[in-house]
C-alpha cells in the first residue's frame, strides 16, 4: 500500500506557543498552500484519513477528496494544561522535568510521547491489513515523527532530530510484512 502523508499548512500564532491539540488559526497563505498540494498530490486515493483538528479538517475540505475518515489517533500530542501557553510562561520546573524524559513523563493533564506513539502505532498496525492501494493521511508533525519511528524502528527520544515542515509530503510503502515497509520519497 502506498501512503501519502502530509502535514497541515502553516499556522498563524507565535512560534513560542504550545498548541498540540488546540485549534489555532491558519496562516494567510492557506489558499496558496492548498493549491500547491493540489498540484503535487494524486486524486485517486482509496481512502483518506485525517486528524479531526480544525487545521487538518480545513485542509482536507479544500482538497475536495472523497472517502474521508477522521481519526483521533492522528491528532497531535495533547499538552494538557500547557495548551495555548507560551513556552516561556510554563512552570520551568515542570517543563524541565518533562524535557528530561518527554518519552515517559506526561504534561500536566496531557500525555507523553509514548502514548502518542502507541496511538500512531495502533492506527498503522490496523491500516496495514486494509485492502487499499493508495491512502492519504493529513496530520501533524508529532504524528509524522512517530510514523518515522514506527517505520524505521528508531528510539522515541530521537524523533525530534527529524525535521517535519508545514506542507511537507512524504510517501511510504506499508505492507503486510513490516520488514518490507519503506519510505519512498520525502518532499
Q: What is the pLDDT of residue 187?
A: 56
For residue 50, give Cα distances in angstroms to 5, 15, 173.
Answer: 10, 24, 18
Q: What angle do CA 55, 131, 2 make, to 5 degrees?
A: 55
Q: What are phi and psi of 179, to 5 degrees?
A: -65, -20
Q: Which pLDDT does position 67 carry in this prediction?
A: 87
DSSP assignment of 59-93, as one string? Answer: HHHHHT-SSEEE-GGGSPP--GGGTTEEGGGS-HH
Contact present, 143 and 20 (Cβ < 8 Å):
no
Beta-sheet pairing, 85-86 with 47-50: unpaired
SS3 45: coil
**2-186 has which fold?**
Rossmann fold (3.40.50)
Tens of pLDDT along the chain (187 residues)? 999 999 999 999 999 999 999 999 999 999 999 999 999 999 999 999 999 999 999 999 999 998 899 999 999 999 999 999 999 999 999 999 999 999 999 999 999 999 999 999 999 999 999 999 999 999 999 999 999 999 999 999 999 998 999 999 999 999 988 999 998 866 5
**Strand 182-186 relative to strand 134-139, pairing:** unpaired
Amino acid at each position: 500500500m502506498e501512503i501519502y502523508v502530509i502535514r497541515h499548512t502553516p499556522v498563524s500564532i507565535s512560534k513560542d506557543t504550545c498548541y498540540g491539540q488546540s485549534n489555532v488559526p491558519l496562516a494567510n497563505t492557506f489558499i496558496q498552500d492548498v493549491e500547491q498540494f493540489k498540484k503535487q498530490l494524486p486524486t485517486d486515493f482509496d481512502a483518506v484519513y485525517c486528524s479531526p483538528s480544525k487545521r487538518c479538517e480545513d485542509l482536507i475540505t479544500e482538497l475536495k477528496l472523497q472517502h474521508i475518515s477522521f481519526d483521533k489517533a492522528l491528532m497531535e500530542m495533547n499538552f494538557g494544561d500547557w495548551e495555548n501557553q507560551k513556552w516561556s510562561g510554563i512552570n520551568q520546573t515542570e517543563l524541565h522535568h518533562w524535557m528530561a524524559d518527554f518519552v515517559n513523563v506526561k504534561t500536566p493533564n496531557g500525555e507523553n510521547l509514548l502514548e502518542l506513539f502507541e496511538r500512531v502505532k495502533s492506527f498503522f498496525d490496523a491500516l496495514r491489513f486494509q485492502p487499499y492501494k493508495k491512502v492519504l493521511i493529513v496530520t501533524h508533525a508529532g504524528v509524522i515523527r512517530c510514523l518515522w519511528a514506527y517505520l524505521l524502528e528508531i528510539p522515541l527520544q530521537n524523533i525530534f532530530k527529524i525535521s517535519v515542515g508545514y506542507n511537507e509530503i512524504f510517501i511510504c510503502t506499508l505492507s503486510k510484512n513490516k520488514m518490507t515497509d519503506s519510505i519512498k520519497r520525502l518532499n
